[in-house]
Amino acid sequence: MIKINNNYLNIKDNYLFAKIAEEKRNYVKNNKNADLIDLSIGDVTLPLTPSICNGTINAITNLSNKDTFTGYPPSSGHDFLKEEIILKDYEKNNININKNEIFISDSSKSDISNVLDIFNSGITVAVQDPVYPAYVDSNILRGNNIVYYEDILNLSHDIENNKLSIDILYICSPNNPTGKVVSRENLEIIIKLAKQYNFLIFFDGAYEAFITQKNTIHSIYEINGAKDVAIEFRSFSKTAGYTPVRLSYTIVPDKIIINNTYINALFKRLKDTKYNGPSYISEYGIYNLYKENKFDEIYNNIGYYLENTKLLLDFFKSKNLIDKTITDVNSPYVWINTPNNIKSWDFFYELLNNYSIVGTPGIGFGKNGEYHFRFTGFNTKENTLKAIERMKNI
Ligand SMILES: Cc1ncc(COP(=O)(O)O)c(C=O)c1O
């Protein structure tokens, strides 16, 4: 008789964002004239930039012409985009990446989840708390064991003292939701440890383009030895405003060996088996951005979001609600301690009912997110300023 995969019963309903949306709907229904400001948005709001739009139009022109029509892409994406990525994301920072190490995909979320297929189920993964919830859910679905860490140095001490053995360590830097970045020194320690204790590092750089702090790692491959132990995920969603179009890439170095097997070859096998490649139109949009070196266009949009985020950071700093370790804006997120240490959902209702403002309760990102709250810089500058003015007496 057919049986379901019981792991699907073990993941929590996607209750956080669904509940926020429902509360928003109810509020608007009951307060018809309220001017609700949404600072919970975890999605881009500015339109696609001209070079990207022109790229997608060029792609359509190519596909409408018999001589330039092209069918299924390679499962890891086209070389024309890989060559640009190598040159402009890595070579310019003296990092060597080969074309066969790049897997262009439609989404980091799916790559982060699907890559687990090439490992045994029941492995142990270390996940930061709080963090982007997809790491936890995808590991629950695989039947893996999850250990949570708050501080990467404490985690590394536990590994060194044989208190803990892990197979994969997730690092999200800059972190969603806290915006914190991992330091070069800590990464060096972790990479050494990964080699010594045979675990892999999954480095999620979805927000690397938002880093403003000097001397901060953008790619884990800036550290010597990382190519022996680390897979890196990059997404064009927030970087290039590509959430409605979809594109990302994953670097799987060709020298990582587990059980005498190259995992690059296994990931290729996985892609060839389960995926028919990213959309040509989507790739071409990003290709044109790279080819024409129009990075200023996307950095203008990122700059706009960062300016809003900085306004929020400075405001909450003035209220003493920001952790002392956070000095710069390195993501579109501001992570605050709730006023008077109230629970994150209680703060949600207080903001909604007293100030007509929506944010995201920290508990949705993990147990350590309780008594914290996330705001984003994705709304307009006008609304961000208006929200700050409304909250001046919190
Ligand atoms: C840390 C992190 N990684 C990955 C993703 C998903 O990227 P994509 O849109 O390419 O699936 C997100 C989306 O919010 C994210 O916050």
Q: Is 360 in the pocket of ligand 1 (CB under 6 A)?
A: no
Q: In this structure, what token pair is assigned to residue 94?
A: 């003296």
Q: Is the separation of the CB atoms in 115 and 107 below 8 Å? A: no
Cα 324 to ligand 1 centroid, rounded to whole Å: 26
| Ligand 1 atom index nearest CA of 109 | 11
The token duo for 363 is: 């508990």
This model's pTM is above 0.95: yes
309 pocket-lining for ligand 1 (C-beta < 6 Å):
no
**Ligand 1 contact, 132 CB (< 6 A):** yes
- What are the sequence ranges of the domains in the chain? 6-47+296-390, 50-291
206 CA to middle of ligand 1, Å?
Answer: 6
Indicate whether residue 41 lines ligand 1 (CB < 6 A).
Answer: no
Q: At what angle do helices 50-63 and 280-291 cross, to 10 degrees?
A: 130
Does 85 contact ligand 1 (Cβ within 6 A)?
no
Task: Tell me, using a 6 A CB cutoff, whether residue 336 lines ligand 1.
Answer: no
Asked whether 237 and 243 are in contact (CB, 8 A), the reply is yes
* Ligand 1, atom 6: closest residue by C-alpha: 109
CB of residue 128 inside a 6 A radius of ligand 1: no
Quick one: pLDDT at residue 124?
98
Tokens 């996940």 -> residue: 127
Give the model's pLDDT for residue 11.
87
Alpha carbon of 235 to ligand 1 centroid (Å): 7
The pLDDT of residue 18: 85
50-291 has the same fold as 6-47+296-390: no
CB neighbour class for 123 (10 Å; exposed up to 12, middle 13-18, buried from 19): middle
Distance CA 169, CA 128 (A): 9
Is domain 50-291 annotated with CATH 3.40.640.10? yes
Query: CA 53 to CA 288: how far, in whole Å?
Result: 9
Task: Report whether residue 206 contacts ligand 1, using a CB cutoff of 6 Å.
Answer: yes
Instruction: Give the integer Cα–Cα distance in Å for 77 and 102.
Output: 8
Q: Tell how far the Cα of 164 is from the centroid of ligand 1, in angstroms.
A: 28
Six token digits for residue 346:
């209680």
Average pLDDT, 10 consecutive residues per value, the chain (394 residues): 93 82 94 95 95 98 98 97 98 96 97 97 97 94 97 96 96 97 97 97 98 96 98 98 98 95 98 97 98 98 98 97 91 98 97 97 96 98 98 94
At the top level of CATH, the class of 6-47+296-390 is alpha beta
Measured distance CA(372)–CA(361) in Å, rounded? 7
Half-sphere exposure of 271 (CA within 13 A, CB side): 27
* Res 31: pLDDT: 94
